[in-house]
Structures are given as structure tokens and as C-alpha cells.
């Protein structure tokens, strides 16, 4: 199968060093390449990594992709992702619900760091604007679960109505830092006349505060990240208005340069600019720059991961990450939606500035990534499937249902029991039925002919109960004997034709499918057919209405036991 994430193992002896914030490790590493047109990442069961406002970090000998208190993913190699089965904490428990409550409060957009001294994992998240300052803080002995509320970090830079929408955590030379935005949402609701009729809707400037030794509180040491000579708070007559329009901040150090990289202010938008500030000290003075002019390749930055160097044989690399709402079907790039993700290695100019990101579709960026020593599953329903389209390809989302019906076919590579077929689908409204058929047929030459018949092996409705907005796998249970070489397929249809097959009553609570995943990297022997909705007569004389979609394949898998 084609792998756009290009891997080459560099076997190195040794054991990696545990803990977050490390810039050095030992053990094995490999090259991981990211291609711009590779929008979607999947867990081992084939589901889209459902991350909005999440960030990947190297913590505890693994790559940890935190989404919220209920959802996170882990990977050993930065390629194969495993959805952790446990919550970090139960947000509905009274003490947690209270800690995460308030206007827009949800403990969303969290970050986690590890404290080598206390041997605790520290979790901080979104702090709602209100009458009191405070960032909710949780700790655990385990990275992926068991967090308990410890209280609120009282940030030094605060005024009435100011909250923390976005924050990040960093450990640099053993010292902890919280990086947050001074989000003044109250002024946006009850304006004092300083906001525009259209934009800016509110003002937010990035602040860095140094943490105490246990990482639970602020020492009070603070840096306001604004261009040298700028103003804080940022007003209409300030020298650099961008200083008040930054969110999704992150902090890292490269050599003797400190960097704060963030994004322009937006809300699940189809791309916003990337900005950076650099200084010789985390306290400034700061030099400002725009990193790109292509709206972050249709995305919004989520942070920068310091990729540890392996065995002291290279300098650390820095991997910039972005959500890409621009590729979501129907533009639904909100929390829980099927957004894409982008990764780019940052390159630096002699003066310390960051080079522009290349947003061309085929542009590729490569990092030398350590392989974690944690025992994280790498096999699942999709990665261990008998047949399928592949779990690491360049997929894009489309939403032609119900105007087009698809028939995805393949040759079985194994004799046995065809237990299930999984198809990545997404829906938003429970108003129109979709039928998924699994079938066997004699040969491709007859597929487009009139009166062609398949042998139905299984059928299932796609309903509001088994489809999500995030392009997860819809599983069709089959339980039919197949032989190696059998021509198999599945059909996705709405309404007629469904002759000699179960039908859905018009009143059934089924979901109208609006999204699916497509690739142009087609496996040998796989053919995708299409039919315009209800078009069941000849076209242009005696031309079949069923057509082959050349160089196209849906995202799917099949399991033969």
C-alpha cells in the first residue's frame, strides 16, 4: 500500500529518557514525512482522529494527542494512532463540572506536561471569563487517565471579564511555563466602544508566566508578548494591532532564541495567518514576524512540538501543527466535525526568523522522530484488516450524497468468513435513509450491464445511531463464507433501487449521509463504480448509467477471519 508518511528506520541501541520537555532521547528513530495534501489521520480501527483544538506532544515515551478531558490518542511512531480507552477525568462529576463551569467554560483545549520532581502529570485548560481569575489545574500519576482537580492557577495578568481561551504549557530546562491569551469576551458582549462593528470582535494578547516548582501555580514572573515598543492593552492607536489579535499560542526555545508562535484570531475558520515572536529571553523584548501569507495552508495553528534529538547526534526539530477546517465537508469544521490536520517542520533563517511555510499540495516536510518505548497497540480493525483502501493515504472529504450512489469493489485476498466491512461515513441530519449492501458478483465485465445481479451477503441501514459528524467507521456485520479471488463489493444507496432487499420505511430515523473519504491512490484490483441518483436508464443512446470512477477509491476495510 502507498504510504504518504514515508518511513525509514534508523536502528539505534538504547533506551529513551522518560518525561516531557526533553530535547534529547536515546533509542530508535525513523524519518516521518508529512505531505500537505494528506489531510486526515486515523486510529488503528480506521476512525478519523477527531481532534479540534488539539496538539501532539512528546510525553512519557510516546506522542500524545490530547483533544479534551474525555478524548486523547497515543502513538509510538507519530504515524499509527491509538485512541486511548480511558478519560483523563470525568467532566460530569460535580467537582470537575464546577471547576470547568462558567461562561463558555468547558476545560476545553487542554495541555499536559510532566513534572520530573513531583512525578506528576499536570493538566490545564480553558478558563472562562468572569468575576474571578483562575485556570483549572488537574494532576495524575498517569498520562492518559486518573486526573483529579487541584485548584485554580491564579494568573497575574487579569482584569474583570478577562478569561483564558487558549493556553499552552512548556517545560524548558526543567522550568515550567504557562502561555495564555488575555481573552476579553465581556468587552465583546458589552462593548466599551473600542471594538469594530465587524472586526476585531475582541482583543487578546499572549502572556507567559513562569510556574512554581510543582507546576501548579504561577511564580508571578510574567512576560507580555508584544512587539518591542508596543502597547498593552492593545488599543485602536497601538503601534502593532496584531499584538492584540493572537491566539493558540505556544512557546519553545531553539539555541539561545525563544519563540512564541501563534495564530491570528478566528473561530473554526478556513485558514488564518501564523505569527511568531522571538527574543533572547522569555521575558523579551520581542521581535514580531508573519510566518506565512497563505493562511496556514487553510488551517489554524495549534502549537509546536519539540521533536527530541536522538543520541545527541542532531539538533532538536520543531513540528508546527494546525487544524484544517477548510477541508471539512460542507465547511463543518467545528468541535467534533471532520476537520483535517497539517504538520510542517519549521525552518529558520540566519537572523533567527522562521521561514515561510510551503503550502503547495505536494510539498513534503520530514522530521527524524524517536520511536517511543511505551507499549501502545499498533493493530486494530483497520490496520489488521484483510483488504481495504489503506489507513495512511492522502484522503479528502466529499459530500455528494444523495446525488451519487457508490459501488466499491475488490478481490478477496483470503478464504474464510467475511465478518465485517467498515466504511468511513459522516452525517449531520436524521432525515433521509441510506442503505449499505455487501455483495458478491461474478465478474467486472458484467457490472455495468442491464439486468446485472449481485448476491447480497449483508445489508444494514445507516442511521443516526451509527453515524457521526466526524467520518468515523460505520461497521456492517456480514458473516458469509468467501474464497480467495471472489469479487466482492459494497453499495451505498439512498432509496430505489433496492429490489429483493430490505427497505427502510420513510418514517425511520435514519441519517442523511453528507460526507465520505476519497483517495486517488487505488489498490490493485479495486474498482469504484458510480450511479447518479435514480438514473436507471441508458445514457446517450446505449451507454450504461453505471460508470467507473477512474483513480478513485473510498476509505474502507474488510475483515476475513
Q: What φ, ψ does residue 504 adopt, rounded to 5°?
A: -105, 130
% residues pLDDT > 90 (the chain) = 61
What's the rounded Cα separation, in Å, for the pair 425 and 541? 35
How high is the pLDDT of residue 413? Answer: 98
How high is the pLDDT of residue 506? Answer: 44
How high is the pLDDT of residue 501? Answer: 42
Closest CA to 138 of 98, 104, 186, 172: 98
Asked if residues 209 and 178 have their Cβ atoms less than 8 Å apart, the reply is yes
Instruction: Verify cis geometry, omega within 30 degrees of 0, for the bond prior to 543.
Output: no
Where does the pLDDT of residue 26 fall: very low under 50, low under 70, confident under 90, or very high at 90 and above?
low
Closest CA to 88 of 132, 54, 116: 54
Q: Residue 283: which region, alpha, beta or left (left: phi > 0; alpha: psi -120 to 50)?
A: alpha
What average pLDDT does this structure show over 222-250? 90
Where does the pLDDT of residue 455 fall: very low under 50, low under 70, confident under 90, or very high at 90 and above?
very high
Which tens digits make up the pLDDT trace of 294-315?
889 989 999 999 998 887 667 8
Which tens digits make up the pLDDT trace of 416-432?
999 999 999 988 765 66
Most confident of 89-93, 158-162, 182-186, 537-541: 89-93
Q: Please tell me which residue, 180 or 267, carries the higher pLDDT value.
A: 180
Task: Give 227's DSSP letter.
Answer: B
How high is the pLDDT of residue 511? Answer: 52
Rounded to a whole number of angstroms, the distance between the first and last alpha carbons of the chain is 21
CATH code of domain 7-370: 2.115.10.20
What's the rounded Cα separation, in Å, for the pair 526 and 236? 59
Where does the pLDDT of residue 42 fall: very low under 50, low under 70, confident under 90, or very high at 90 and above?
very high
The answer to which of 55-64, 351-360, 394-403, 523-532 has the lowest mean pLDDT is 394-403
What average pLDDT does this structure show over 202-209? 91
Q: Cell for 557?
A: 476495510
Secondary element (H or E) of residue 297: helix 295-298
Is the sign of the CA dihedral 328, 329, 333, 339 positive or negative? negative
Using the predicted structure, report yes or no on whether residue 73 has a pLDDT greater than 60: yes
What average pLDDT does this structure show over 360-382? 95
Asked if residues 6 and 30 have their Cβ atoms less than 8 Å apart, the reply is no
Could you list the beta-strand ranges (E) of 27-115.
29-35, 55-59, 62-68, 71-75, 82-83, 111-115
How high is the pLDDT of residue 463? Answer: 78
Where does the pLDDT of residue 41 fall: very low under 50, low under 70, confident under 90, or very high at 90 and above?
very high
What's the rounded Cα separation, in Å, for the pair 342 and 325? 11
Q: Cell for 405?
A: 450512489
How high is the pLDDT of residue 252? Answer: 98
Q: Please tell me which residue, 253 or 24, carries the higher pLDDT value.
A: 253
Using the predicted structure, report yes or no on whether residue 458 has a pLDDT greater than 90: yes
Please classify residue 291 by burial: count the beta carbons closer than 10 Å to its beta carbon, then call 0-12 exposed, 13-18 middle and 19+ buried: buried
Q: Please tell me which residue, 275 or 515, carries the higher pLDDT value.
A: 275
What are the Cα distances from residue 158, in Å, to 207, 222, 242, 244, 384? 10, 12, 20, 15, 51
Q: Please tell me which residue, 25 or 33, carries the higher pLDDT value.
A: 33
Task: Give 235's DSSP letter.
Answer: -
What average pLDDT does this structure show over 392-410? 87
What's the rounded Cα separation, in Å, for the pair 72 and 83? 6
Q: What residues does 408 pair with on adjacent strands?
A: 490, 528
How high is the pLDDT of residue 539? Answer: 82
Secondary element (H or E) of residue 94: helix 94-99
- CB count within 10 Å of CB 153 equals 24
> Grid coordinates 526555545 are at which residue?
253
Asked if residues 77 and 387 have their Cβ atoms less than 8 Å apart, the reply is no
Secondary element (H or E) of residue 151: strand 148-153
% residues pLDDT > 70 (the chain) = 84
CA 526 to chain centre: 28
Residue boundaries of the structural domains of the chain: 7-370, 387-560
Secondary-structure percent of the chain, ordered helix, strand, coil, rounded to 5: 5, 45, 50
Q: Please tell me which residue, 276 or 403, carries the higher pLDDT value.
A: 276
Half-sphere exposure of 251 (CA within 13 A, CB side): 34
Task: Give 489's DSSP letter.
Answer: E
How high is the pLDDT of residue 552? Answer: 98
Using the predicted structure, report yes or no on whether residue 105 has a pLDDT greater than 70: no
Where does the pLDDT of residue 536 fall: very low under 50, low under 70, confident under 90, or very high at 90 and above?
confident
Asked if residues 519 and 552 have their Cβ atoms less than 8 Å apart, the reply is yes
Which tens digits make up the pLDDT trace of 473-500?
999 999 999 999 999 999 998 654 444 4
Q: Residue 256: which region, alpha, beta or left (left: phi > 0; alpha: psi -120 to 50)?
A: alpha
Half-sphere exposure of 10 (CA within 13 A, CB side): 14
How high is the pLDDT of residue 499? Answer: 42
How high is the pLDDT of residue 15? Answer: 31
What average pLDDT does this structure show over 452-480? 90
Q: Mean pLDDT score of the chain, rounded to an integer?
A: 86
Task: Give 99's DSSP letter.
Answer: H
Using the predicted structure, report yes or no on whether residue 206 has a pLDDT greater than 80: yes
How high is the pLDDT of residue 267? Answer: 76
Q: Residue 447: which region, alpha, beta or left (left: phi > 0; alpha: psi -120 to 50)?
A: alpha
Q: What residues does 368 pair with on adjacent strands?
A: 31
Amino acid at each position: 500500500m502507498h504510504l504518504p508518511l514515508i518511513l525509514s528506520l534508523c536502528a539505534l541501541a538504547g533506551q529513551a529518557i522518560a518525561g516531557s520537555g526533553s530535547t534529547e532521547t536515546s533509542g530508535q528513530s525513523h524519518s516521518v514525512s508529512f505531505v500537505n495534501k494528506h489531510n486526515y489521520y486515523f486510529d488503528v480501527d480506521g476512525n478519523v482522529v477527531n481532534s479540534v483544538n488539539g496538539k501532539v506532544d512528546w510525553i512519557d515515551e510516546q506522542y500524545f494527542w490530547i483533544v479534551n478531558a474525555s478524548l486523547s490518542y497515543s502513538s509510538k511512531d507519530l504515524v499509527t494512532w491509538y485512541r486511548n480507552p480511558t478519560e483523563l477525568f470525568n467532566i460530569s462529576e460535580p467537582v470537575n463540572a464546577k471547576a470547568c463551569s462558567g461562561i463558555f467554560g468547558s476545560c476545553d483545549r487542554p495541555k499536559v506536561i510532566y513534572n520530573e520532581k513531583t512525578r506528576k502529570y499536570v493538566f490545564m485548560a480553558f478558563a472562562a471569563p468572569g468575576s474571578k481569575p483562575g485556570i483549572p489545574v488537574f494532576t495524575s500519576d498517569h498520562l492518559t487517565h486518573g486526573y483529579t482537580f487541584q485548584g485554580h492557577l491564579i494568573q497575574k495578568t487579569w482584569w474583570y471579564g478577562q478569561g483564558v481561551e487558549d493556553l499552552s504549557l512548556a517545560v524548558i530546562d526543567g522550568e515550567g511555563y504557562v502561555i495564555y491569551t488575555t481573552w476579553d469576551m465581556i468587552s465583546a458582549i458589552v462593548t466599551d466602544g473600542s471594538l469594530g462593528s465587524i472586526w476585531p470582535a475582541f482583543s487578546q494578547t499572549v502572556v507567559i508566566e513562569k510556574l512554581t516548582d510543582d507546576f501548579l501555580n504561577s511564580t508571578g514572573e510574567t512576560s507580555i508578548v508584544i512587539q518591542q515598543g508596543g502597547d498593552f492593552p492593545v488599543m485602536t492607536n497601538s503601534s502593532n494591532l496584531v499584538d492584540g489579535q493572537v491566539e493558540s499560542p505556544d512557546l519553545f526555545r531553539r539555541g539561545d532564541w525563544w519563540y512564541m508562535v501563534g495564530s491570528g484570531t478566528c473561530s473554526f475558520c478556513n485558514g488564518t495567518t501564523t505569527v511568531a515572536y522571538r527574543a533572547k529571553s522569555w521575558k523579551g523584548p520581542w521581535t514580531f514576524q508573519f510566518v506565512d501569507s497563505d493562511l496556514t495552508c487553510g488551517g489554524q495553528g495549534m502549537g509546536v512540538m519539540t521533536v527530541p534529538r536522538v543520541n545527541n547526534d542532531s539538533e532538536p526539530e520543531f513540528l508546527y501543527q494546525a487544524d484544517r477546517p477548510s477541508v471539512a465537508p460542507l465547511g463543518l469544521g467545528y468541535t467534533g466535525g471532520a476537520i483535517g490536520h497539517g504538520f510542517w517542520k519549521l525552518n529558520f533563517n540566519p537572523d533567527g526568523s522562521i521561514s515561510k511555510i510551503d503550502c503547495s499540495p505536494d510539498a513534503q516536510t520530514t522530521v527524524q522522530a524517536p520511536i517511543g518505548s511505551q507499549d501502545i497497540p499498533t493493530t486494530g480493525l483497520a490496520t489488521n484488516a484483510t483488504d481495504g483502501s489503506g489507513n495512511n493515504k492522502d484522503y479528502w472529504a466529499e459530500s455528494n450524497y444523495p446525488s451519487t450512489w457508490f459501488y466499491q469493489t475488490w478481490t478477496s485476498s483470503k478464504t474464510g468468513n467475511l465478518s465485517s466491512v467498515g466504511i468511513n461515513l459522516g452525517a449531520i441530519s436524521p432525515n433521509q435513509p441510506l442503505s449499505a449492501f455487501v455483495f458478491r458478483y461474478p465478474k467486472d465485465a458484467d457490472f455495468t450491464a442491464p439486468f446485472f445481479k449481485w448476491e447480497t451477503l449483508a445489508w444494514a441501514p445507516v442511521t443516526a445511531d451509527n453515524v457521526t459528524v466526524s467520518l468515523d467507521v460505520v461497521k456492517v456485520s456480514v458473516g458469509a463464507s468467501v474464497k480467495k479471488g471472489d469479487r466482492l463489493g459494497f453499495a451505498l444507496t439512498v432509496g430505489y433501487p433496492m429490489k429483493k432487499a430490505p427497505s427502510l420505511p420513510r418514517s425511520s430515523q435514519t441519517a442523511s449521509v453528507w460526507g465520505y473519504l476519497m483517495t486517488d491512490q487505488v489498490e490493485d484490483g479495486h474498482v469504484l463504480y458510480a450511479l447518479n441518483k435514480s438514473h436507471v436508464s441508458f445514457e446517450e443512446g446505449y451507454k450504461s448509467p453505471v460508470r467507473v470512477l477512474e483513480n478513485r477509491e473510498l476509505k474502507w476495510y474488510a475483515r476475513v477471519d
